[in-house]
Amino acid sequence: MNRRRFLGALAGCTTAPLLAEATAAADAPRRPNIVFILADDLGYGDLGCYGQKKIKTPRLDQMAREGIRFTSHYAGFTVCSPSRCALMTGKHMGHASVKGNGGRLRASDVTVPMLLKKAGYRTCMIGKWGLVGRPGHPGSPNRKGFDHFFGFDNQGFAHFYYPEYLWRNDQKVLYPKNHNLRVNGEYKKGEGTYSHDELVKEAIGWIKANKDHPFFLYLPFCIPHAELTVPEDSLAPYLKLGWPETPKIEGKGNTGGGGYGSQYKAGYCGQSHPNATYAGMISRMDRSIGRILDLLDELKLSESTLVLFSSDNGPSPEGGQSLKFLNSTGPLSGHKRSLREGGIRVPMIARWPGKIQPGRTSGHPSAFWDFLPTACELAGIAPPTDIDGISYLPELLGRPEAQKKHEYFYWIWAVRVGKWKLHPRGKDRFALYDLESDIAEKHDLAGQMPDVVARCAKYFEVATRK
């Protein structure tokens, strides 16, 4: 039966009140797909489009030219788990359930995929969850709204790129060739299965299988988190440059918690060429993102797909690379675990051909907790009322007059109010910085502007109210 005859028959039956709803659904345009790609410990200055000169990131630079680049976007926190909690739940650290690494989502937490799933989206997460939650646990990806999950359930295990297994939903995918692959802190060249490549392969397959339905794909890659290691084809171009390298340090760093294979006992700071390896990892991720963007073009999905890219916090030197040599924080001070801008201000690029005007740069201040209401607005549904986020869809679409702004941003030990950034420095002592004129936070103005300090300090209490 064709659509006209079906609606005519429907009008003549006892379910006639459904006619208007059925007509609207038949005529409504398809809701946009949403792809959110997250790097792990990538710095504000690690991409060419943010000023990087040594590391090559042509596809993300192209994505910025084709879309919009945010210069004042913030992670949820300075480390992995709480930052990802803010991204998934739309709540800053005053209200988020996870405030430290290794925390788990509560059963009561409502997440982006849970909301989009109710709106008819197919949902998928591939990569590092970072919120603990083994398959079957109430806080696991499959129990928090994702139809399909492939990757690491344990964030410690995700620090290693040649794992003995990954999870596909509740089933282990084994990689027996990765067992005992590391000798004296180095991997055997040309052997084993690199986990990042498996994540990309899974993502490409899932997009192809779900191309005819609205979908949400969350891709939290592990790159460039230490350990630092990358296949030779990505490392070789940087080794040729002859960069200075820090001395090899054996047996330092996070061991991943044990129980995941003997090759992890030595820790992850034994790379001979950490600067070159770090650069190679980022370039490999960049190439992978290009493959995903090319696939969307090939499937003619680009104009119906918003692609977002960001990082979960600032860069970390834990793999042995030099943040100073690589200029990983750009003009910012601080890095991962610091509440200076270098620890929480992160790259954010959005691409949506035909909807986002290409080549734009936005200074609109935004944060991870804004993603949930943005996704809800894209899906045409109301977000929960108890979130802290504000949709940045108007800014994406070039409608600044419609874009609401935050009264403040909060990260437990720092607040931003307008251009002002305030850090506690003990009882009734603070450091105050003007981010418009001092993005590196070098000049403490607290002693000169007590009225501004008092105005900003109140938000430490405001942000934790229920």
Closest among 101, 145, 74 to 390, alpha carbons compared: 74
Task: Tell which of 380, 406, 432 closes a domain.
Answer: 406
Q: What angle do CA 39, 44, 46 make, to 5 degrees?
A: 70
pLDDT for position 258: 34
| Residue 146 sits in the same domain as residue 193 | yes
Residues 6+ apart with CB under 8 A from 294: none
Helix-strand-coil percent breakdown of the chain, rounded to 5? 30, 15, 50
pLDDT for position 307: 99
pLDDT for position 42: 98
pLDDT for position 29: 74
| Residue 439 sits in the same domain as residue 327 | no
Q: What are φ and ψ of residue 183, in 5° steps? A: -130, 125
Q: Indicate if the alpha-carbon torsion angle 348, 82, 92, 345 is positive or negative.
A: negative
Cis peptide upstream of residue 164 (ω within 30 degrees of 0): no
- Euclidean distance between the first and final Cα of the chain, in Å? 54
Task: Tell which of 406, 431, 455 closes a domain.
Answer: 406
Name the amino acid, one letter, at 315: P
The answer to whether position 4 is within a domain reads no
What is the count of structural domains for the chain?
2
Which segments of 119-231 does DSSP mark as H helices, in order? 195-209
Give the range of the structural domain holding residue 178, as residue numbers without chain letter.
Answer: 30-406
What CATH number does the domain containing 443 carry? 3.30.1120.10
pLDDT for position 52: 98
Q: Would you say 119 and 34 are in contact if contact means Cβ atoms under 8 Å apart?
A: no
pTM here is 0.91
- For the chain, 466 residues long, give each residue's pLDDT as a single digit of tens: 343 333 333 233 333 332 233 333 334 578 999 999 999 999 999 999 999 999 999 999 999 999 999 999 999 999 999 999 999 999 999 999 999 999 999 999 999 999 999 999 999 999 999 998 778 888 999 999 999 999 998 888 999 999 999 999 999 999 999 988 887 777 888 899 999 999 999 999 999 999 999 999 999 999 999 999 999 999 999 999 999 987 554 444 333 333 344 334 334 444 789 999 999 999 999 999 999 999 999 999 999 999 999 999 999 999 999 999 999 999 999 999 999 999 999 999 999 999 999 999 999 999 999 999 999 999 999 999 999 999 999 999 999 999 999 999 999 999 999 999 999 999 889 999 999 999 999 999 999 999 999 999 999 999 999 7
The answer to whether position 360 is within a domain reads yes
| Residue 67 sits in the same domain as residue 205 | yes
| Residue 460 sits in the same domain as residue 321 | no
- Which residue do the tokens 């938000």 mark? 459
Q: Would you say 80 and 312 are in contact if contact means Cβ atoms under 8 Å apart?
A: yes
The answer to whether position 464 is within a domain reads yes
Q: How far apart are CA 111 and CA 245, in angstroms?
A: 42
| Residue 250 sits in the same domain as residue 127 | yes
pLDDT for position 18: 29
Q: What angle do CA 438, 440, 441 make, to 5 degrees?
A: 70
pLDDT for position 26: 37
Q: Would you say 128 and 198 are in contact if contact means Cβ atoms under 8 Å apart?
A: no
3-class secondary structure for 309-377?
Answer: EEECCCCCCCCCCCHHHHCCCCCCCCCCCCCCHHHHEEEEEEECCCCCCCCEEECCCEEHHHHHHHHHH
The answer to whether position 14 is within a domain reads no
pLDDT for position 248: 53
What CATH number does the domain containing 309 carry? 3.40.720.10
| Residue 150 sits in the same domain as residue 200 | yes
- Which residue do the tokens 């410990």 mark? 41
Cβ neighbours of 405 (radius 10 Å):
11
| Residue 383 sits in the same domain as residue 422 | no
DSSP state of 49: G
| Residue 358 sits in the same domain as residue 268 | yes
> What six digits make up the tokens of 102?
């290794």
| Residue 451 sits in the same domain as residue 315 | no
| Residue 92 sits in the same domain as residue 220 | yes
- Which residue do the tokens 């793999």 mark? 319
The answer to whether position 12 is within a domain reads no
Q: How far apart are CA 21 and CA 361, in angstroms?
A: 40
